[in-house]
Amino acid sequence: MESLDYAVRDKLSQPHVRQPFRPERFYSTDKPKQCPRCRSVLIAELLYGEPGRSSELIADLKAGRVVPAGKTKSADKPDPRWKCLDCQTLIYHKES
């Protein structure tokens, strides 16, 4: 038991260096069939801009096929095109 205490004390005495957080970026040329992180099939397309009031759009929003993403796209950086509804992973469109 004493050797275990020594191992714990040795581990705690070493400085912990935290790696910087770098979120993964996932790319796809078409809408993915499943999430690359959690393998869920619940992938929704992100809708930018002011949405219309069509009955088709309202049905897509209720069904979870479309998710509002904000008013505008940024011109200087790429914006995600799809989002996993389970783990909230953003998936970017890759030009083929």
Buried/exposed code over 29-66 (b: 16+ C-beta within 10 A; e: otherwise) = eeebeebeeeeeeebbebbeeeeeeeeeeeebeeeebb
Please tell me the predicted confidence (pLDDT) of residue 3.
59
Given the DSSP bridges, would you call strands 90-93 and 80-84 parallel, antiparallel or unpaired?
antiparallel
Q: What pTM value is reported for the model?
A: 0.68
Please tell me the predicted confidence (pLDDT) of residue 69.
85
Q: What is the pLDDT of residues 26-66, one digit of tens each?
A: 999 999 999 999 999 999 999 888 777 888 888 888 888 88
Domain locations in the chain?
25-93
More confident: 87 or 7: 87
Please tell me the predicted confidence (pLDDT) of residue 43.
94
